[in-house]
Amino acid sequence: MRDESTTPHPHRWAALAVLLLAEAMNLLDATIMTVAAPVIRADLGGSDAAIQWFSAAYTLPFAVFLITGGRLGDIVGRRRIFRAGTAAFTLASLACALAPSTGALIAVRAVQGAAAALIIPQSIGMIRSLFDGRELGRAMGCIGPVMGLAAVTGPALGGVLTHADLFGSTWRAVFLVNVPLGAAVLLAGRLLREDRAARRPRLDLTGTALAVLGTGLVIYPLIQGGAVGWPGWCWALLTVGGALLAGFALHQRRRGRYGRSPLVEPSLFRERGFPAALIASVLFFAAVNGLMLVIVVQLQVGLQSDVLTAGFTLLPWSAAMALSSWAAGAWLVPRYGARVMMVGLLALLVGTVAATVVYGTGRPDSYPWPLLPALVVAGLGQGLYAVPFFTTALHHVRPHETGSAAGLLNAVQQLGGTLGIALLGSVF
């Protein structure tokens, strides 16, 4: 529902640019962080698990609060929540740059992730409110290329900024980048028009608590277990976390049965395409994020390469993702539809297997040059998947389901990334 008018927004393409800049800011923060994490651990201290926590502390609250963030947009207004989240994200980024210790940085990263959870669901919801018909497809198709551009610049920018040590800032500069970007989004936010759901649901605080506790109790032992030898308390936490997540699912069904507002609309699962996209997304982003972390840590900790080398090693992956995202949005998806997503999954599998062969057959003390073409294939797969994912999954979503659907789609993406960081990082 559009509050101010049902006529087309005269500045809708400029408003789209603001929303895409916010999307890029969040992705840029994640990719920059991956490259800088080993340097941060070396500077601030902490165990090997700290490298995983620098990323997981962001993606975990991002994932579990995304659905609530989408609901808040439905209730309060998407533009209002979008601007509040952007302000909080910008301030949290500044606090990250000033963090005096590993614990403080991890804590502020969690705040930053929670703020991002307020931003992203509103972006997709407002895009759907700004455009209709074929224009909506064009607007949604812009997400993939923007993600590709942010992915290209993120690792290289993280390596350059950290290596350059501008004014003695070392790794702190990677967080300061978000400050001018966030300020620009806030200033341009007046181009956005307020929008909220026609039916305003209530917040499900019990469901949110179950999701936060359950997911946290699963992720924590997955990251810490390898470092401490998997004692009994790790398995106990995994069991309790799994039970809480099962309780969350039952709680959602109960709220839906009695006509209350659940975090996740049960009607979203009546079409097979939506749950299938969720499962594929978890697996896909687990592989992508986990593999990226392992490559960076292996280069910087295993081979003692500098951060600049690590950043530019990921550049072929990111460049291939940008190229395939553009091709998918401009040509492949309009012609072949959701089948492009399956091709992307296959390409990622081929690239991952090739990277495994490179590490299994190469010399452990030399730079793995054959890794670069394997990363190109993986990047092509990521771009081919990302573009049709949102358009396919949201194709049959009704207006009152938008906040829940957008939050859930992004949540499983971030949760998959967190699981990949936890599982592949711990195995490595």
Residue 403 binned pLDDT confidence (cut-offs 50, 70, 90): low
C-alpha distances out from residue 280 to 135, 287, 352, Å: 27, 11, 16
Of 194-198, 301-305, 317-321, the poorest mean pLDDT is in 194-198
Structure tokens at 189: 């936010």
Which pLDDT score, from 0 to 100, does residue 422 have? Answer: 83
Show the beta-strand stretches assigned E in 183-258: none
169 and 122, same domain (yes or no): yes
Residue 4 binned pLDDT confidence (cut-offs 50, 70, 90): very low
Cα separation, 106 vs 54, whole angstroms: 6
Show the beta-strand stretches assigned E in 78-140: none
What does the DSSP assignment read for 116-133? HHHHHHHHHHHHHHH--H
Residue 406 binned pLDDT confidence (cut-offs 50, 70, 90): low
Round the average pLDDT of the chain to a whole number and report it: 82
> What are the tens digits of pLDDT across the range 214-229?
988 988 888 888 777 7
Q: Report DSSP state, residue 59.
A: H
Which pLDDT score, from 0 to 100, does residue 362 have? Answer: 66
Average pLDDT (296-310) is 82
Structure tokens at 358: 């490179």
16 and 157, same domain (yes or no): yes
- The answer to whether the CB of 355 falls within 8 A of the CB of 375 is yes
245 and 377, same domain (yes or no): no
CATH assignment at residue 395: 1.20.1250.20
301 and 414, same domain (yes or no): yes
Q: Is residue 200 part of a domain?
A: no
Residue type at 201?
P
Dihedral sign for Cα atoms in the order 397, 403, 406, 412 = negative
Q: Is residue 2 part of a domain?
A: no
Question: What is the SS3 assignment for 332-371?
Answer: HHHHHCCHHHHHHHHHHHHHHHHHHHHHHHCCCCCCCCCH
> What are the tens digits of pLDDT across the range 75-127?
888 889 999 999 999 999 999 999 999 999 999 999 999 999 898 888 877 88
Q: Is residue 392 part of a domain?
A: yes
Average pLDDT (11-23) is 85
274 and 359, same domain (yes or no): yes
Provide the 3-class DSSP secondary structure of residue 45: coil
124 and 214, same domain (yes or no): no
Q: Would the pLDDT of 135 be above 80?
A: no
Percent of the chain with pLDDT over 70: 90
Provide the 3-class DSSP secondary structure of residue 195: strand
For the chain, the domain total comes to 2
254 and 345, same domain (yes or no): no
Cα separation, 16 vs 166, whole angstroms: 33
26 and 171, same domain (yes or no): yes
274 and 395, same domain (yes or no): yes
Average pLDDT (119-146) is 77
Cα separation, 179 vs 380, whole angstroms: 31
Q: Is residue 253 part of a domain?
A: yes
Q: Is residue 281 part of a domain?
A: yes
Number of other residues whose CB lies within 10 A of the CB of residue 236? 12
Cα separation, 313 vs 155, whole angstroms: 8
Which pLDDT score, from 0 to 100, does residue 2 have? Answer: 43
> What are the tens digits of pLDDT across the range 328-362?
877 888 888 878 888 988 998 899 889 888 877 76
Percent of the chain with pLDDT over 90: 16
Q: Which domain, by its residues, includes 83?
A: 12-190+270-427
> What are the tens digits of pLDDT across the range 241-279?
999 989 988 888 888 777 777 777 777 777 676 777 788
55 and 160, same domain (yes or no): yes
42 and 151, same domain (yes or no): yes
Indicate the Cα dihedral angle 214, 72, 80, 178, nearest 10°: 10
Which pLDDT score, from 0 to 100, does residue 3 have? Answer: 44
Average pLDDT (180-184) is 92
Q: What residues contact residue 326 under an 8 Å CB cut-off, 6+ apart?
A: 144, 145, 148, 383
> What are the tens digits of pLDDT across the range 374-393?
999 998 998 888 777 777 77
Nearest to 417 by CA among 49, 59, 44: 59
Average pLDDT (39-64) is 85
Residue 160 binned pLDDT confidence (cut-offs 50, 70, 90): confident
Q: Is residue 417 part of a domain?
A: yes
C-alpha distances out from residue 385 to 163, 263, 289, 393, Å: 32, 26, 14, 12
The torsion region of residue 77 among left (phi > 0), alpha (psi -120 to 50) and beta comes to: left
Q: Is residue 135 part of a domain?
A: yes
Q: Is residue 401 part of a domain?
A: yes
303 and 401, same domain (yes or no): yes
Which pLDDT score, from 0 to 100, does residue 84 have? Answer: 93
Nearest to 277 by CA among 382, 392, 381: 392
Residue type at 7?
T
